Structure formats: C-alpha cells, structure tokens
Chains A and B, each alone.
Chain A
Amino acid sequence: MAKYVLKRLIHGLISSFIVVAIVMIMIYSMLDKNLIFKADTVYTNYGNNEKVAYSFRKWEEYGYLDYITYNEYLLKLVVDGELDEDTRASVASFGKKPENDSEKVAEYVKKFNDYCAANGYTVVRLNAIMMNGKKYASGGQQQLFAYKDLPITNRLWTYVKNLIHVDNIHYVEKLTGTPLENQGLTFTLHDPVYGGQKFSPAIMGNGTYYKYLFYCDNKFPFVHQNLVKLQLGTSYAVNYGVDVFDTMTKTQGSYIMSTTTFPTGLTEESADDLHSATFVLGSRDANKINSDRFTDDYTNVSTIKAGKSKMGYSFTIGLIAMFLAYLIGLPMGLLMAKHKDKLIDKIGTVYIVFIIAVPSLAYIFLFKAIGGMCGLPTTFDMESTSKLIYALPIISLALPRIGDNMKWLRRYMIDQMNSDYVKFARSGGLTEGEIFRKHIMKNAAIPIVHGIPGAILGALVGAIITERVYTVPGAGNLLTIAINQYDNGVIVGVTLFYAVLSVVSIILGDVLISLVDPRISYSGKAR
C-alpha cells in the first residue's frame, strides 16, 4: 500500500512539473514580452535609449531573460578582485559612440564583449541621442548592456532547484564574498526578543538569510522554523519581491501594535515581528530608522497583522461551506432516493436543475441581493468583528455544493437500489430501513467518500467568483490577478500549487476508499 501510494505520488509530482513546464512555455515564449508595459506609466514616460534599457531591466525582473550592464560587469570584476575601485571609476563612463571611447575604456568594453560572447550573451550598445551638440535628448544617454534569453529547460531546472530553500550560514558570504566575523549558529534559552529574561529557546544564525532559524512563541504550533522554506516563485506585480507561498500565507489587515524591544534596546509600540528578520546587505547604515533599532544588517522584518492570510480566509469559508454541503446535501439526497418520484424528490430535482443550469454568477448575485435585503453584510470587511460577514460567502459556496451532493448521492443510491443484492436482502426478510442503512448507504457512500479529500484541499484554493463578489481577500483571485498583471512568477507558483493539490487529493481519495471499502486493495495480486 505505502509503496503504491509513493509510486503514485512520484508519478503525480513528475506530471505537475510537466504542467509547470507547459505553463512556462505558454507565458514566457508564446506571450508578447511587451504586454507587461501595457499599464506601466514609467515606461510611457521614458524616452529613447532609457526606454530600451528600462524594458530590459523589467524583463529581467519578470524572468524573461538575463540582463547585465557594463557597469554591473565592472562591479563584478571588483568583487572578484580583478580590478581595483579607482580603475573601475575611471573606466565606468564610456563614450557617446564607440569611436569616442578612450583607450582604457575601449579595452574594458572589449573585455565585456568577450565575456558576453563566451557566456552566450548578446551585447547591445545604444549610441547617445543628442538634441544638439551638447544636450542629450530625453532619455538619450548612451547604453551598453548584454542580455541572454533563458531556455525553458534551464528555467525549469533553476525553478525546481530553488523550490525548497534550506538556509545556511554561508548565505552572506556568497552575497558579499567575505564571511561575517562571527559567522555561525548560536543557541539561546532566553530569546532576546522577549527581553532576554523569559525562558524561550531559540536558534539564531549569523551569516544566514533568516536571523531566527527556530523560535517559540504563543501562536499555534508554538515552535516555528525558518530553516526550510518553500519558494514557489517570487512575485513582481502582485506583491513585490514576496514569494507566492508567503503571499498566500501572510496575515493581512490592520497592524497589531505591541511593546517591542529592538536589539539596540530601543522600546516602542510597533507591529514588527522581530522573529522574521532577514538579511539585507548594507541596510543598517543606509537608513537611520534601521540603525536606531538594529545592531546588524538583519533589518527586513514583516509585520503582525490582525486579519487572516489569503489562504486562511479561503480555507475558513471553504471548509465551513464544505461541512454544510455534506451535512445538508447528503440527507437530502438520501430522502430524495427514498421517496423517488414523490413530492420531495421533485422539489429537490427543481433545485438541482436550478443550481446546475443557471450560471453561477447569476445565483451568487441573487443570494447577495436576498442576503442584503435580510440585513446581512454584503461586503467582506477585515476590520469588522462581526462573524456575520462570513455568512453570505459561505452560503454562496455551500448551496451549489449541496445541489451537487444531492444529485450524486441520489444517483448512486438509486443505482444500488436496483441491484440484485438488494432484492436478495429483501427476500431474506430484512426491513426496508435495514436495507437502506446497512446495505445501500454503505455502497453508495464509497464514491462520495472519494471526493472528501479533494473538497477539503480544494478549500485552500478558494473560489474566484464568490471572493470577487463579496470582496473577500482570499486566495481564489490570486491567479486571475496575476494573469491580468502578467506576474509570471505568481502564475507559475500558483499553477504548481494547484497541480500538487489536485494530485494529492486524488491519491488521498483513493487511499480513503480503500480504508472504507475492504474490497478495494492496492496491494497484492488482485490488481
């Protein structure tokens, strides 16, 4: 059994990555790269060479290509120790045209060209565009850069390789080229975030990306880690610089202020979550606010907010709706099957036809209008303390699923009612109630049970229309927003997330029915 599940899981994961590859081909190769500038005001304001350079910069950020400027190349040489800072400064500004380059600059430009040719980059040199002899046209400064398209295999491999990020103490060393002076891990029993008095064990890193690798607090599950992080893809337009998984799981809403003691000893009311501190090179010196509060470059902290995360809202609403759907839909389907062709069956059928045939948008708006008349809140406000805001989204999600459950349970039960074993049981003298409870119900429930894991995991994904209509800040709209804003990182990340969820839910469903139905077995010779 375990072997079978493992095999299916590996198979499913491979399929998921093929899906990711297809999606990558679709969004990176088939779509026009210039679409991302459609709503970009910065792009329209730039002119001439500046516009070209800007578009390449953006394309790099969106993951279309690898882009390197001449100056970045020189800085790289300095880091590698092949060039000293003074020479770099003297050769950094190149001529308006290649002919104008001084001898020294021409040497380094040639080096840059050679480096690019060796690594498969295409060099672009844009000559200065002048208004007259002295003055540059708007954005007309000369540009020298190189770019390289990322092949799909390369892109997929990098994506898979970076999917699971394990923090290590060499992170800063790789970034700057020099290790921090006291690089390593420290274990403390008294977490400095709580003032250093309270007992609270934590493992802190120096040289790592996250400052706190393990820590404890008063929120479920009480012990938290930052050592292993899932990186589904970095967002660009939707939530700048934040990973998709974090976008889905970070809390939203208004800040929760608490008295916080910063590492320098400064105490103030703040919503900063010091446990989330990450390394940003040179940030302490660059910013007075940071240097007042932090003693090192671990200054990038997230904030504690009052609301749930995107996934949290979607899951809460989806899960309650799912429970309601089973709690109401299954007994209704049972009644319909029991009183086939009677009044209750006909009423149920009308309801099912209504739910299936009418466009979902139509009845969600209908529920919204009816709910609004009954005084229920029709827009979802995170600041509201009333639990009533959940009522309409839950009802809108639950009602179609109730119809679905009714339809299928009725169908399965009626199929079972006509089978031979039921006739045999009846001739054997069992009462109708007994036949229903002990025989028909059990057999009809098997296909229903198969769908339960899918329904639970599906709640994580959220619902597109419901969340849009009631303005729920959930995860359902993430994909459509990302598509509208051409946020490729988010599209890929969300696709992988969906694909893995669907693979896992089918496998869990298969496992669950083999537990419920002893006739189904995935091991042994029967298969």
Chain B
Amino acid sequence: MENNELFTVEGMTDEELFARVDHNSLDSEKITAPRYSYWRSVFRVFFKKKINIVILSVLAFVILFAYIYPVVTTYDRFSNLMDGSTKHLSPKAAIEKFGFSIKWILGTGASGQSTFDAIWNGSRISISLAFICAAINMTVGVLIGAIWGFSKKIDMFMMEVYNIVGNVPNILLISVLVLILSPSFWSMVFALTITGWLFIAYFIRTQVIIIRDREYNLASRCLGTPITRIATKNILPFMTSVIVTLLAVEIPSYISYEVFLAYIGMGMSDMSLGRLIYEAESAMVTPGWQFEFWSPVVIASIITVSLYVTGQNLGDASDPRTHM
C-alpha cells in the first residue's frame, strides 16, 4: 500500500513508533478546550483599549495619592492663622514665601492653609464617602431588587413604597437626618443610604423583570431548578455588566451630590471637597483668588470623570458579547 509506505520510517519497528495508551473511561468524559475564565476575558477586553490603561492609571494615582499623601504629611488648617501675609496667596507668591515645595504649588487659602493639602484631605473624605455609600446601596439595592423583581406580591407592596418614598424631597430627608444626628461623616453616610438603595433596587427590579420570563429561565424552572439557583446562576451573571455600569454612575454621583449638598449649606462638617468648594465660593469672584476655588473643582472633576469612564468601559467589557 502506498500510504503505508509513506508513513513508515526507515529502520524503526512498530513498537518503537507507537506506544499503547490505556483506555480510561473517566478521562474520556473530559472535554478539552482552553480554560475559560469570565473575569480574565473581561480584563483582556478591558486592557485591549489603550485609553483604559491611561484612565485607570490616572484613577489609581488619584486614589492612592488621596489616601497616602495626607498620611505622610501633616496638615494643620490653622497653623498660619495669625500670619496675615500668608492668606490668599497665588501659587507664585506662596512658593516665593515658603520656598518650593509640593505643598504650595496651588497657593494658600483664607486662613493661610495650603490649598494642595486641603484638597487631598478633602478628596480622601469625599472618595471614602462615595465608596462606602455605593457599597451599602449597591449591596442592599441589588439583593432587594432581585427579590422585588421575582415576587409579584412583593412587587405590589414595594411599588407603593417606591412611589411614596420617591416623592419625599431628598434634600429635606438629608437635612432632617443631619440635624437630628449631627453633621458628621457617618450620619451623612446614613442619610445617603437610608433611601438611596430604593432607587437602585427599582432599577434592578426592572432588569430582573425583563429577563425573568425569558425562555431559558422558563425551561430551567420547568426542569425543577430552585428559584435561588435561577437567580444566582442564570440571572445574576446576565446582569453583571448592568451592575458594573450602574456602579460607574453611582460612585461619582455621590461625590457630585456631596458637593451639591455642601454648596446649599447642608453638607457635613468635615472638610470634604464639597465643603472646600462651598467655602471658596467667595474667592471665585475675587481677582487673584480664583485658584482657591478652581483647584478643588478641577480635582473633583478629575476624580469623577476617571471613575465614570473606568466604570463605563469596565461595564462594556463585562458584557460577554464583547468577548469574541
């Protein structure tokens, strides 16, 4: 036979060329395919775009700086209070007065404090507030929203709650709670989370209702899969990208909202970014002092924009349809 001759190697016996493999029924059950990890694919897609790497490094830098810088430096707001010549200095004048240091590159504020230090201390408070509020609201909101979407009885009840609580002015609720409790960081967290989860839960509920009755879920239920497993194995993975996208909107929105509350005089007493902006508002209209106002505004914007863009792109990447 021609074929046999083609595959025969000169001077080798069949025993040398072939080794016998034992048949293993267990091994034959295994499907060999490249290992698939969902999150690894998400990050592969995410890092494929160069812009994402840039934005993520900006975000990481800002967050790390906000947490590390205030720890390694000392900041006393009132250390220069008695010295009139240190107040409202432009960056140039501040560097001339104190000598060059990163502390003075944004000038000084109303009580001679370093604007740069004030901003990073404020950023740390604002970022912490945003992350804590988002963590609480998202956890509670997603869990309750999933149950809300599944049960028709709970839906009727929760819709009433939503219609009523949604119409209580948020500013009123926050100001009343802050007045009762004291304008501290944790009462602010409490005020922002006591009803905040409801709106997230409503959003999740709508998403759950949309995919709850899809054919594959009906089929799964017909096969006797318990509801909890349908929720965790069928529906939650489907919603990962939705939840990540929502998170991208939520986290920066708390920073913006805190700035807004501080501006209308209902914020907390800690020197957060919002409060810095609020206190520097009069400096905005005074020629030569604008730096005090614009620097916290710009930093707040950088933080919110980088958080938002990272989250949005991560949300896009976590949609399995983009993993092709």
Q: Which residues of A contact B (CB under 8 A)?
A: 12, 15-16, 18-19, 22-23, 26-27, 30-32, 35, 353-354, 356-362, 365, 369, 464-465, 468, 479-480, 483-484, 491, 494-495, 498-499, 502-503
A15 touching B252 in the complex, CB below 8 Å, given contacts A361-B259, A483-B266, A495-B169: no
Binds A, one of B7-15, B18-26, B233-241, B302-310: B302-310
List 24 A–B pairs whose Cβ atoms lie within 8 Å, in order of A's numbering.
A15-B163, A16-B167, A23-B168, A27-B172, A35-B179, A353-B308, A356-B249, A356-B308, A357-B307, A357-B309, A358-B301, A358-B304, A359-B259, A361-B259, A362-B297, A362-B298, A365-B297, A369-B284, A465-B263, A480-B264, A483-B175, A483-B266, A495-B167, A495-B172
Q: B297 touching A27 by the CB < 8 A rule?
A: no
Q: Beyond the given A361-B297, A464-B264, could you list 13 further A-B residue pairs with CB under 8 A, ordered by the A residue number?
A: A23-B169, A26-B173, A353-B308, A356-B249, A356-B308, A359-B256, A359-B300, A359-B301, A362-B301, A365-B293, A464-B260, A494-B169, A495-B168
Q: Are the CB atoms of B266 and A465 closer together than 8 Å?
A: no
Q: A15-B163, A480-B266 are in contact. Are A31 and B297 (CB under 8 A)?
A: no
Evaluate contact between A357 and B169: CB separation under 8 angstroms: no
CA of A358 to CA of B255, assembled, Å: 9
Q: Which residues from A are CB-within-8-Å of B160? A: 15
Residues of A within 8 A of B307 (CB): 357
Q: Which 10 A-B pairs have the closest CB atoms?
A: A357-B308, A359-B256, A499-B167, A357-B305, A359-B259, A358-B301, A362-B297, A19-B167, A357-B304, A15-B163
B309 to chain A, nearest CB (A): 6
Cβ-defined contact, B169 with A353, below 8 A: no
- How long is the Cα–Cα vector from A19 to B252 in the complex, in angstroms? 29
Inter-chain contact A365/B284, CB cutoff 8 Å: yes
Beta-carbon nearest neighbor of B309 in chain A: A353
Interface centre among B160, B167, B168, B297 (most CB of A within 10 A): B167
Contacts of B308 in A (CB 8 A): 353, 356-357
Question: Count of A-B contacts with CB under 8 A?
Answer: 104
Give the complex CA separation of A240 and B309 in angstroms: 49
With A15-B164, A483-B171, A484-B265 already in contact, the answer to whether A360 and B304 are too (CB < 8 A) is no
Q: Name the residue on B nearest A506 (C-beta).
A: B163
Alpha-carbon separation in the docked complex, A495 to B312 (Å): 35
B54 at the interface (CB under 8 A from A): no
Q: Any chain A CB within 8 A of the CB of B1? A: no
B180 CB contacts on chain A under 8 angstroms: 30-32
Cβ-closest chain B residue relative to A484: B265
A357/B252 in contact, CB under 8 A? yes
Q: B284: nearest residue on chain A (CB-CB)?
A: A365
Most chain A CB inside 10 Å of its own CB: which residue of B168, B172, B298, B300: B172
Task: Identify which of residues 249-287 in chain B touch chain A, using a CB-to-CB cut-off of 8 Å.
Answer: 249, 252, 255-256, 259-260, 263-266, 277, 284
Minimal Cβ-Cβ distance residue in A for B298: A362
A253 to chain B, nearest CB (A): 24
CA distance A357 to B167 in the complex (A): 25
Question: Are A360 and B179 interface neighbours, CB within 8 A?
Answer: no
CB neighbours of A354 from chain B (8 A): 305
CB distance B164 to A22 under 8 Å? yes
Confirm or deny: B176 has a beta carbon within 8 angstroms of a beta carbon on chain A: yes
Q: B169's contact among A31, A358, A498, by CB below 8 Å, is which?
A: A498
Q: Which residue of B lies closest to A496 (CB)?
A: B167
From known contacts A30-B176, A30-B180, A479-B169, infer whether A361 and B301 are also in contact, taking CB-CB under 8 Å: no
Q: Select which of B171, B172, B260, B297 is within 8 A of A26 by beta carbon.
A: B172
| Residues in B neighbouring A358, C-beta threshold 8 A | 256, 301, 304-305
| A359 partner, pick from B172, B175, B255, beta carbons under 8 A | B255
Closest to B264 in A: A480
Cβ–Cβ contact A361 & B309, under 8 A: no
Chain A residues contacting B309 (CB-CB under 8 Å) are 353, 357
- Measured between beta carbons, the chain A residues less than 8 angstroms from B179 are 31-32, 35
Tell which of B173, B260, B304, B312 touches A465, judged by Cβ atoms closer than 8 Å. B260
The docked-state distance in angstroms from the alpha carbon of A360 to that of B263 is: 11
Q: Which of B60-92 contact A (CB under 8 A)?
A: none
Closest chain-A Cβ to B47's Cβ sits at a distance in Å of 20
Query: With a CB–CB cut-off of 8 A, which chain B residues contact A356?
Result: 249, 308
Chain A proximity mask over B152-184: 1 for CB below 8 Å, otherwise 0: 000000001001101111011101100110000
Chain A residues, CB < 8 A from B300? 359, 362
Q: How far is the CA of A361 from the CA of B160 in the complex (A)?
A: 33
In whole Å, how far is A250's beta carbon from the nearest beta carbon of chain B? 22
A468 lies within 8 A of B172 (CB): no
Q: How far is the CB of A410 from chain B (nearest CB, A)?
A: 14
Residue of A nearest to B304 (CB): A357
How far apart sit A12 and B264, CA to CA, in the bound complex (Å)?
30
Within 8 A of A (CB), among B214-229: none
Q: A359, B260: Cβ atoms under 8 Å?
A: yes
A361 contacts across to B, CB distance below 8 A: 256, 259-260, 263, 277, 297
* Residue pair B260, A360 in contact (C-beta under 8 Å): yes
Q: Which residues of A contact B264 (CB under 8 A)?
A: 464-465, 468, 480
A169 to chain B: closest CB distance in Å? Answer: 38
How far apart sit A369 and B169, CA to CA, in the bound complex (Å)? 31
Given contacts A31-B180, A479-B169, contact A18 B260 (CB under 8 A): no
CB distance from A89 to the nearest CB of B (A): 45
A465 to B265, CA, bound (A): 12
Establish whether residues A31 and B176, one from each chain, have CB atoms under 8 Å apart when the complex forms. yes
Most chain B CB atoms below 10 A, which of A15, A479, A483:
A483
Considering the chains assembled together, what is the distance between the CA atoms of A354 and B312 in angstroms? 13
Q: What is the CB-to-nearest-CB distance from A403 to chain B, in angstroms, rounded to a whole number?
A: 13
Which residues of A lie under 8 Å from residue B172 when comparing CB positions? 23, 26-27, 479, 483, 491, 495
Q: Which residues of B contact A353 (CB under 8 A)?
A: 305, 308-309, 312
Q: Could you tell me the distance between the alpha carbons of A16 and B265 in the complex, rounded to whole angstroms? A: 27
Interface centre among B163, B176, B308 (most CB of A within 10 A): B163
Return chain A residues, CB-CB under 8 Å to B297. Answer: 359, 361-362, 365
Question: In angstroms, how far is the closest chain B Cβ from the Cβ of A483?
Answer: 5
Q: List B contacts of A31 (CB < 8 A).
A: 176, 179-180
Contacts of A27 in B (CB 8 A): 172, 176
Q: Nearest A residue to B252 by beta-carbon distance?
A: A357
Cβ of B124 to closest chain A Cβ, rounded Å: 17
What are the residues of chain B within 8 A of A12 when measuring CB–CB? 163
Contact of B164 among A18, A26, A32, A365 (CB under 8 A): A18
Residue with the highest number of chain B CB atoms closer than 10 Å, among A35, A357, A468, A494? A357
Chain B residues with CB under 8 Å of A23's CB are: 168-169, 172
Listed residue (A12, A19, A361, A491) with the most chain B CB atoms within 10 angstroms of its CB: A361
Which of chain B's residues have a CB closer than 8 A to the CB of A480? 171, 264-266
Chain B residue nearest to A477 in the complex (CB): B264
Give every chain A residue within 8 A of B298 (Cβ-Cβ): 362
For the complex, what is the distance from the CA of A480 to the CA of B249, rounded to whole Å?
Answer: 26
Interface-central residue, B175, B252, B277, B312, by most chain A CB under 10 Å: B175
Nearest residue, chain B, Cβ from A482:
B172
Among B168, B265, B300, B305, max chain A CB count under 10 A is at: B168
Closest Cβ of chain A to B223, distance in Å, is 29
In the complex, which residues of chain A have a beta carbon less than 8 angstroms from the beta carbon of B171? 464, 479-480, 483
A365 to B290, CA, bound (A): 11
Measured CA separation A358–B267 after assembly (Å):
19
A142 to chain B, nearest CB (A): 34
Q: In the assembled complex, how far is the CB of residue B169 from the closest CB belonging to chain A, in whole angstroms?
A: 6
Q: Which residues of A contact B265 (CB under 8 A)?
A: 480, 484
Q: Using Cβ atoms and an 8 Å threshold, which residues of chain A touch B176?
A: 26-27, 30-31
- B291 to A: closest C-beta gap in Å: 13
